[in-house]
Amino acid sequence: MSATSTALVALPEFVVAIALVAVFCLWLPLLPATTVTSRTGSPSSPVMLVLPLAALALRQIGWNTRIVRAALTEQLHLPHVDAALLDGLSRRRIVLRYLLPGALPTITAGLATSVGMVLGGAVAVEAIFNYPGLGSLLAGAVRNRDTPLLAGVVALTGAVISAVLVTADLARLWSVGRQP
């Protein structure tokens, strides 16, 4: 699992997107390669979202898998966890009561970091799949030198990332107060 998650983290989203198109659109023609929009501007079929979401999610799954595993492994070696193991508590109770509260700050910080990485990768993925989203809006604003729109998109992205990071910090404070 570690080699797979490392490989997923190392590949940029556009490489993953191109590989997904090659496999699922060219070799195994199961999914559409581009997004066709309806009159409302949304994708005309939910199937068209599978490849763009997979291209964005695969890298984050690898990243967060490594973070969760490292955080839980770090908590596993603490004395109170050893005492709980010696007391014969069930694995489920040890994980929920002793491991997760201590690992939660690291996990939430990793998830918060993922939001910024997903928003950054959305520009390339939306261009590859012709998806009309925030990344396409940002790329169009840069191409057309539309400074007010560019400033608005960057401000919105910054506000979302800041809100997620503040939420992660609040979760960290909450979990520190709950540790045994």
Do 136 and 148 touch, CB atoms closer than 8 A?
no
pLDDT of the residue at 120: 81
In the chain, what are the domains? Answer: 2-178 (1.10.3720.10)
8 A C-beta contact, residue 59 and residue 11: yes
User: What per-residue confidence (pLDDT) applies to 148?
Assistant: 92
Tokens representing residue 118 in the block: 């997903």
Q: Is 166 exposed, middle or buried (0-12, 13-18, 19+ CB in 10 A)?
A: exposed
pLDDT in tens, 128-149: 888 888 777 888 888 899 899 8
In the block, residue with structure tokens 């997979």: 54
Enumerate the β-bridge partners of residue 58.
none
| Residue type present at position 32 | P
Predicted confidence (pLDDT) per residue in 89-113, tens digit = 888 888 888 888 888 888 888 888 8
3-state helix, strand, coil in the chain (%, to 5): 80, 0, 20
Tokens of 39: 């009159």
Per-residue pLDDT, 133: 81
Q: Please list the ranges in the chain whose pLDDT falls under 50.
A: none
- Residue 99: count other Cβ atoms within 10 Å of its Cβ: 20
Kindly give, in sequence order, each residue whose CB lies less than 8 Å from that of residue 52, ignoring residues fewer than 6 positions away: 17, 35, 125, 126, 129, 131
User: Is the CB of residue 98 less than 8 Å from the CB of residue 71?
Assistant: no
Write down the pLDDT at residue 180: 55
